[in-house]
C-alpha cells in the first residue's frame, strides 16, 4: 500500500508552493523539510511546523497518515509563539534551539539581493535599507556573502534558498518591482531612514554645503546649485543628491506604497 501524509501551507507559503493543501505520497522515511522543499517551499521560508497538532523540528521524520501544517514567519504570531516555546519545559532542546536561531534571523536588517532584483534594491536603498547588490555575483558568491556577513538573501531563485548553507533567505514572489516592495514591507518591520543611503553603491550619504560643492571632485551644474539648498554626497562613489523632482516622485511613490501595506 502506498504511504502518504497530509500537508497544509499557511499564509504566503500558499503562494510560494502554489497550493494550500495536498496529499503527499512517499517512500521510506523522509524528513518533513525534504517533503516541504520538494513542494517548492525552501527551508529558509519555514518558521513553524506542526505535526499532528504538536510543534516539531523541520527535520522530524514523517510517518504515514501524519498531518503536517507549515507556517511562515508572521509578525505578532511569531513572537508570542517564540516565548511560549522557549519557556515551556515540555519542548525538547532541539526545537528550542531551532526557534532561537529563527529568532536571531528575525533581527537581521541587512540584505544581499540577486541579479534580478535591481529595481527593488534601488527602492530599498532610497528607504535607507542596507542591501548589497552586484549584477556580476553568481550563486556561490551570493551564498558566501549571506553566510559570512549574516545577511538575508533576497532572491527569486528557490534553488539557491534550498542550499543547506543558506540560513537567512527570503523568496520574492512578485515580478513587478512595486509589488516586490509591498511584499518586502509587509514582511520586514524596519525603521526606515529615507534618502540617507546611496542608491548606486549602498554607502551612507553625508550632507555637504554649497561652498564645499565648489571644490568637489564632481562638478554640479550652477543652475542646480542655485535652485536647491540642501545637498548630500556618497562617500564611496561621490554621487551628489539633492531634493529635486526625482526626490519628489519617489516620495509620492513611497507614500502610495506605505498607504497600501498593512
Ligand atoms: Zn555611492
- How far apart are the CA of 40 and the centre of ligand 1, in A? 37
Pairing assessment for the beta strands 67-71 and 3-9 based on DSSP bridges: parallel
Segment 192-223, tens digit of pLDDT: 898 899 999 999 999 999 888 888 888 888 88
CA 2 and chain centroid, separation: 38
- How far apart are the CA of 236 and the centre of ligand 1, in A? 5
Determine the average pLDDT of the residues in 70-77: 74
Task: Tell me whether residue 214 is in a domain.
Answer: yes
- How far apart are the CA of 240 and the centre of ligand 1, in A? 9
- How far apart are the CA of 179 and the centre of ligand 1, in A? 26
Whether the predicted pLDDT of 73 surpasses 70: yes
- Of the residues 56, 90, 105, which one is the last residue of a structural domain? 105
- Distance from C-alpha of 67 to C-alpha of 132, rounded to nearest angstrom: 40
Q: What percent of the chain has pLDDT over 70?
A: 97
What is the CATH number for 78?
3.10.20.30
Task: With cut-offs at 50, 70 and 90, classify the pLDDT of residue 78.
Answer: low
Residue 141: per-residue pLDDT: 98
Long-range CB contact pairs, 167-175, < 8 A, 24+: 167/44, 167/101, 167/105, 168/44, 168/105, 168/108, 169/42, 169/44, 169/45, 170/44, 170/45, 171/16, 171/42, 171/44, 171/45, 172/117, 172/120, 173/12, 173/15, 173/16
Segment 149-162, tens digit of pLDDT: 999 999 999 999 99
Segment 43-65, tens digit of pLDDT: 999 988 999 988 899 999 999 99
Picking from 15, 102, 33, 105, the residue whose alpha carbon sits closest to that of residue 70 is: 33
Task: Tell me whether residue 155 is in a domain.
Answer: no
Residue 77: per-residue pLDDT: 63
Segment 102-134, tens digit of pLDDT: 777 777 889 999 999 999 999 999 999 999 999
Q: Which residues surround ligand 1, an ion (CB under 5 A)?
A: 198, 200-201, 203, 234, 236-237
- Of the residues 105, 129, 149, which one is the last residue of a structural domain? 105
Residue corresponding to grid cell 532561537 = 100
- How far apart are the CA of 218 and the centre of ligand 1, in A? 13
Picking from 102, 119, 123, the residue whose alpha carbon sits closest to that of residue 170 is: 102
Task: Tell me whether residue 179 is in a domain.
Answer: no
Residue 95: per-residue pLDDT: 84
- How far apart are the CA of 253 and the centre of ligand 1, in A? 22
Q: How many separate domains does the chain show?
A: 2
- How far apart are the CA of 116 and the centre of ligand 1, in A? 20
Residue 25: per-residue pLDDT: 97
Task: Tell me whether residue 171 is in a domain.
Answer: no
87: alpha, beta or left? (left if phi > 0; alpha if psi -120 to 50):
alpha
Work out whether the CA dihedral 96, 185, 138, 149 comes out positive or negative: negative
- How far apart are the CA of 202 and the centre of ligand 1, in A? 6
- Distance from C-alpha of 122 to C-alpha of 126, rounded to nearest angstrom: 6
Task: Tell me whether residue 118 is in a domain.
Answer: no
Residue corresponding to grid cell 540617507 = 196
More confident residue, 16 or 47: 16
- Of the residues 48, 72, 105, which one is the last residue of a structural domain? 105
Q: What percent of the chain has pLDDT over 90?
A: 60
Task: With cut-offs at 50, 70 and 90, classify the pLDDT of residue 174.
Answer: very high
- How far apart are the CA of 207 and the centre of ligand 1, in A? 13
- How far apart are the CA of 142 and the centre of ligand 1, in A? 20
Residue 20: per-residue pLDDT: 96
Task: Tell me whether residue 47 is in a domain.
Answer: yes
Tell me which H or E stretch contains 257: helix 245-260
Task: Tell me whether residue 51 is in a domain.
Answer: yes
- How far apart are the CA of 126 and the centre of ligand 1, in A? 12
Range of the domain at 240: 206-258
Task: With cut-offs at 50, 70 and 90, classify the pLDDT of residue 27.
Answer: very high
Q: Is the pTM of this model over 0.85?
A: yes
- How far apart are the CA of 133 and the centre of ligand 1, in A? 12
- How far apart are the CA of 74 and the centre of ligand 1, in A? 34
- Distance from C-alpha of 179 to C-alpha of 152, rounded to nearest angstrom: 19
Task: Tell me whether residue 166 is in a domain.
Answer: no
In the chain, the N- to C-terminal Cα span, in Å, equals: 47
- How far apart are the CA of 222 and the centre of ligand 1, in A? 22
- How far apart are the CA of 197 and the centre of ligand 1, in A? 8
Q: Go through 236-254 and write b for each residue having 16 or more CB atoms within 10 A of its CB, e for each that does not.
A: eeeebbbeeeeeeebeeeb
Amino acid at each position: 500500500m502506498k504511504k502518504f501524509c497530509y500537508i497544509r501551507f499557511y499564509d504566503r507559503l500558499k503562494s510560494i508552493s502554489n497550493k494550500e493543501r495536498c496529499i503527499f505520497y512517499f517512500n521510506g522515511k523522509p524528513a518533513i523539510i525534504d517533503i516541504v522543499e520538494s513542494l517548492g517551499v525552501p527551508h529558509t521560508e519555514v518558521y513553524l511546523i506542526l505535526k499532528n497538532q504538536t510543534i516539531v523540528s523541520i527535520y522530524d521524520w514523517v510517518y504515514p497518515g501524519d498531518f503536517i501544517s507549515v507556517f511562515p514567519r508572521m509578525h505578532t504570531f511569531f513572537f508570542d509563539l517564540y516565548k511560549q516555546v522557549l519557556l515551556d519545559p515540555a519542548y525538547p532542546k532541539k526545537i528550542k534551539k531551532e526557534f532561537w536561531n529563527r529568532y536571531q534571523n528575525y533581527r537581521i536588517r541587512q540584505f544581499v539581493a540577486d541579479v534580478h532584483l535591481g529595481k527593488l534594491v534601488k527602492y530599498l536603498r532610497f528607504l535607507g535599507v542596507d542591501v548589497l547588490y552586484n549584477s556580476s555575483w553568481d550563486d556561490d558568491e551570493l551564498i558566501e556573502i549571506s553566510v559570512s556577513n549574516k545577511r538575508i538573501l533576497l532572491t527569486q531563485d528557490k534553488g539557491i534558498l534550498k542550499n543547506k548553507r543558506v540560513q537567512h533567505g527570503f523568496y520574492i514572489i512578485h515580478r513587478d518591482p512595486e509589488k516586490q516592495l509591498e511584499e518586502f514591507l509587509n514582511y520586514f518591520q524596519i525603521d526606515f531612514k529615507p534618502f540617507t543611503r546611496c542608491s548606486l553603491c549602498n554607502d551612507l550619504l553625508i550632507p555637504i554645503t554649497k561652498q564645499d560643492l565648489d571644490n568637489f571632485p564632481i562638478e554640479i551644474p550652477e543652475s542646480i546649485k542655485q535652485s536647491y539648498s540642501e545637498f548630500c554626497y556618497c562617500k564611496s562613489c561621490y554621487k551628489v543628491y539633492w531634493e529635486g523632482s526625482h526626490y519628489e516622485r519617489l516620495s509620492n511613490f513611497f507614500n502610495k506604497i506605505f498607504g497600501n501595506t498593512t
